[in-house]
Amino acid sequence: MENKHIALVTGASRGIGAALAEELAVRGWHVVAVARTMGALEELDDRIKTAGGTATLAAMDVTVDDAMRHLCRDIHDRWGSVGLWVHSAIQAPPLSPAGHIAIKEWDKALAVNARATGVLIPMVAPLLAASPDTGTALFLNDPAAEARFHGCYGATKLAQMALAKAWADESAKTGPRVLIEDCAPMPTALRARFHPGENRDALIPCATEAARLVALLG
């Protein structure tokens, strides 16, 4: 298996992360799928195998530094590099006015959305740099992050985007390639928390959006 065909997907158990993992596997990538829930990862693996793809499952929390450090080391030892990192792990706290944000929700959102991203970039960057071709990191932006009552989610999501944008600017000439793409509204669990009762039939299926995003990778 060529190193350039290894794709690391963090937040791969459901929603757009799972859809991207499936789309990449169908297109010949071997997917290293990371998420906290083994059951959901096993269901993802079943779908990938049914479609003729392959995956390695890593049931771990992106906020646990040692676990992610060991994973990146294992990837290096086994394959030497990754050609693609898709970072879709996200924490969606309940909507609330800024003056009523629960501290425990703030801490969880900050840990997943901001801190984990800042920790993972230095870990994954060397794996992307070692790719035979230019490695690519894909981050998913949410245009709704600055909406009213999204303060907890929005502040931590925007912090994630600030890290991604800084990395994109800093690596523009040297690599890796860092892409930041807006996502269309999809019927994900995250959106359901923010828009209960919404007509989900009008939303873009995750598989359709995943196909669009993967096509942008070139």
Report mean pLDDT in 10-residue bins for the chain, 218 residues. 75 96 97 97 98 97 98 97 97 93 97 98 97 94 91 96 98 96 88 82 93 94
Residue 193: predicted pLDDT: 80
> What is the pTM for the complete model shown?
0.94
Would you state the pLDDT for residue 4?
46
pLDDT on residue 199 = 86
Per-residue confidence (pLDDT) for residue 172, from 0 to 100: 96
Three-class HEC string of the chain: CCHHHEEEEECCCCHHHHHHHHHHHHCCCEEEEEECCHHHHHHHHHHHHHCCCEEEEEECCCCCHHHHHHHHHHHHHHHCCCCEEEECCCCCCCCECHHHCCHHHHHHHHHHHHHHHHHHHHHHHHHHHCCCCCCEEEEEECHHHHCCCEHHHHHHHHHHHHHHHHHHHHCCCCCCEEEEEECCCCCCHHHHHHCCCCCHHHCCCHHHHHHHHHHHHC
pLDDT for the residue 190: 78
User: What pLDDT does residue 38 have?
Assistant: 96
CATH architecture of 3-217: 3-Layer(aba) Sandwich (3.40)
